[in-house]
A and B are shown apart, each in its own frame.
Chain A
Amino acid sequence: MRRVFAREEVCIACRLCEVACAVEHSESKHIITAMRHEHPKPISRIHVEVDGPFSFAMQCRHCEEPLCAQSCLTQALRKGEDGVVRYNPDYCIACYTCMLACPEGAIVKASRGTWKGVAKCDLCPDREIPACVAICPNEALLFGEAWEWEAMQTPAEPPILARGGHRA
């Protein structure tokens, strides 16, 4: 399963991912209409944590053993066969147990008229690459398989003699 990975070392805390997420999950999906004229305001499912120069974007990590789904009283949150933890608003009774259970704090409250419930990252099912990853100006969010991410963590030696050149 492809998921979103955050890179603290290059996150610039601009919070464009939050904007993109809110717009993607809005009614109009048009940035100006969504952010200025839609009520209730579209909510972002991603949140940038900032402490001094340290920052990174936090959203649902689609855990192997999702505590939110395990704690959900009505199975409104379920882990699919493909590994994506999905939310079904029709089942939700707005007890917010999932919010308490989530170790990442990745679930946020949501409401629309009389309906109350939560919102969380759905990995943008309508898009090839999630909106947050696509907008990030510094590649602080990456989308891919876990093994690809693992491979990135061990930096390879730079190519010596990449294009001719010499050895000193």
Chain B
Amino acid sequence: MITGQSTRLRSYLPPRFLARIMDDRCIRCQVCVRQCGWEALYYDERNDCINSTEANCTGCHRCVALCPTHAIWIEERPLQYRPNFNWRPEAIEDAMQQAESGGIILTGMGDDKGQTIYWDKLVLNASQVTNPSIDPLREPMEVRTYLGRRPDTLDIDYGSMKLRSPLGPLRTLEVPIMFSAISYGALALQVQEGLARAATEMGTFWNTGEGGLHRSLYPYRDHTIVQVASGRFGVSREYLDNSGIVEIKIGQGAKPGIGGHLPGNKVTAEVAATRMIPMGTDALSPAPQHDIYSIEDLRMLIYALKEATNYTKPVSVKIAGVHHAAAIASGIARAGADIIAVDGLRGSTGAAPKIIRDNVGIPIELALASIDHRLRQEGIRNQVSLVCAGGIRNAGDVVKAIALGADAVYIATAALIAVGCHVCQGCPSGRCSWGITTTDPHLAKRQNPDLAARRLANLLKGWEHEIKEMLGGMGINSLESLRGNRDHLRGVGLSDTELQILGVRHAGM
């Protein structure tokens, strides 16, 4: 049989990056070659130099970080297409890629398009003259947060100063920042261990994602949120018992409306055992939870989980921020959830169809503000804690989220950046050179759980200091005083509609 390029079409895609090596600094130690998980670099023995196959480079900068003489750096090499506002390079290259593969374009990380980032259009207040600001280094500052259902009324026995009204299970966060759901399989076990240790050290929570809980992480159970998603991977009695909070995953900000994707090349024996699936198979969660087609069904699952955990653990429901998020959240609160987590448009993922990541869902700021407003309007805000996820980049975003009504936030991309991620979006391949989103034993070793835990705890400590500084500047000495307090927020350059949804006045008013 005569064949041409029939099995695999020649790629017209231009390389995105160019590896530059300063020859007079390069000592040919080949650390870069060994560290590149993408096989983009190789040692050219004949010419005694480092050479590159740029098409493989994702710009993850592992080589740059480890080069002992700083001889290598990666440059973006954009191809100069004929300028066209409609057919921008990304649109052209996506079409090229699909013409070759005939498939969905799978990508990692969060939406990188130019939709409005409302955090950047919101500014905070500070005390001047008429009210004193507080110095958090000299005066006490309270950032502790409790997650869970609060009673409608408080019945206090003033004689003994004891609370008579029964309280549901509550969970304490010493910092209002939790690590968001990233499953084992999508993530290396070493990184999960880092997250678990950092969460334990900082008195907050980490989330297993939908991939089950590896046995080695059971000791961190008091600071673990276990997820029950549509695939039900790894869900067992043991799984629920080894947790602090149980979370039902309905949706994810990066891919609302579809289930989780774990490419089969990441499903090693350990991942398979933890997920309770065959080795090497794609773990594709169903798009819906097949037992939930209404709020009533959700209520049944919530109470099934409460029953299974003997009403000792709060049950959280995570949804993606979509058009009717506020009405849905109201339903979830009434269905008996103790915590609602909302994940926004810019929420991240280990693998999602690019078209969905970039086009589906609404910005988290709008979803959060509308949900908080709706729950207050209906007088049920006390029944649930609200957790904001998807696109939290720094302590400023955390403070703004709390002022918009969140009880706490979830961070994932920021946490991965803390352990080395350079947001190259190569997660679905499982070839992460930083050893983060991979289960390849050679690559995953690059994450030392001790160092990961230290970096993650440092990140939270840094943010905690900054949160306290910002609260102090506003003249507030407790995070509780800021929660939903939009008076400390002002919008800059926002339309009346946007301000109305956010419940914020324009700067200057």
Binding site for B on A (CB under 8 A): 9-16, 18-20, 31-32, 35-36, 52-53, 135, 137-140, 157-168
* 7 new A-B contacts at CB < 8 Å, known A19-B27, A165-B172: A31-B27, A139-B451, A159-B201, A163-B203, A165-B223, A166-B172, A167-B222
B35 to chain A: which residues have CB within 8 Å? 12, 14
Which of B277-285, B440-448, B496-504 participates in binding chain A?
B440-448
Contacts of B446 in A (CB 8 A): 12, 138
Q: Secondary structure of the A side of the interface?
A: loop
Query: Could you tell me if B203 and A165 are in contact, using CB atoms closer than 8 angstroms?
Result: yes
5 A-B pairs, CB-CB below 8 angstroms? A138-B451, A157-B219, A162-B202, A164-B203, A168-B243
Residues of A near B313 (CB, < 8 A) are: 168
5 closest pairs, A vs B, by CB? Answer: A163-B203, A35-B27, A53-B441, A53-B442, A10-B448
A-B contact number at CB 8 A: 95
B144, CB-defined interface residue at 8 Å:
yes
Contact of A163 among B27, B202, B219, B451 (CB under 8 A): B202
Among A18, A32, A158, which residue has its beta carbon within 8 angstroms of that of B69? A32
Are A158 and B27 in contact, CB atoms less than 8 angstroms apart?
no
Cβ contact of B448, chosen from A135, A140, A157, A159, cutoff 8 A = A140
**Within 8 Å of chain A (Cβ to Cβ): is B270?**
no
Q: Find the B residue at minimum CB distance from A135.
A: B68
Q: A160-B200, A166-B244 are in contact. Are A52 and B442 (CB under 8 A)?
A: yes
CB of A31 within 8 A of CB of B171, answer: no
Quote the shortest CB–CB distance from B142 to chain A (angstroms): 12
Query: Number of contact residues on B: which range applies?
Result: 35 or more
Scan residues 427-478 of chain B and give those whose CB is less than 8 A from a CB of chain A. Answer: 435, 440-442, 445-446, 448, 450-451
Contacts of A36 in B (CB 8 A): 27
B92 within 8 A of A: no
Q: Which residue of B lies closest to A13 (CB)?
A: B34
Distance in angstroms between the alpha carbons of A166 and B224 in the assembled complex: 12
Contact yes or no, B68 A31, CB < 8 A: yes
User: Is A164 touching B31 in the complex (CB atoms < 8 A)?
Assistant: no
Closest beta carbon of chain B to A124's beta carbon, Å: 17
Chain B: CB-nearest residue to A160: B222
Is the Cβ of A162 less than 8 Å from the Cβ of B200?
yes
A135 to B68, CA, bound (A): 9
Q: Which residues of A contact B34 (CB under 8 A)?
A: 13-15
* Cβ-defined contact, B66 with A14, below 8 A: yes
Contact, CB under 8 Å: B203 / A162? yes
- Check B221 for interface membership: any CB of A closer than 8 A: yes
> Is the beta-carbon distance between A158 and B172 smaller than 8 angstroms?
no
A16 touches B201 (CB 8 A): no
Least Cβ distance of B496 to chain A in Å?
43
| Chain B 166-198 per-residue mask, 1 if CB under 8 angstroms from chain A, else 0 | 000011101000000000000000000000110
User: Is A163 within 8 A of B445, CB to CB?
Assistant: no
Asked whether any CB of chain A lies closer than 8 Å to the CB of B312, the reply is yes
B220 on interface, CB distance cutoff 8 Å: yes
Would B25 and A32 count as touching, CB distance under 8 A? yes
Q: Which of A10, A35, A137, A158 has the most chain B CB within a 10 Å cutoff? A: A158
A15: chain B residues at CB < 8 Å are 29-31, 34
Cβ–Cβ contact B445 & A9, under 8 A = yes
Per the bound structure, the CA–CA distance linking A15 and B32 in Å amounts to 10
Complex: A162 Cα to B457 Cα, angstroms: 12
Minimum Cβ distance to chain B for residue A164 (Å):
5
Bound complex: CA of A163 vs CA of B143, how far in Å?
13
Kindly state the separation between the CA atoms of A135 and B66 in the bound complex, as whole angstroms.
10
- What is the bound-complex CA distance between A164 and B68, given in angstroms? 42
A167-B29 Cα distance, complex, nearest whole Å: 50
Q: Kindly provide the distance from the CB of A76 to the nearest chain B CB, expressed in whole angstroms.
A: 30
Contact present for A139 and B448 (CB under 8 Å): yes
A130–chain B nearest beta-carbon distance, Å = 16
Within the complex, the shortest CB–CB distance from A149 to chain B, in Å, comes to: 14
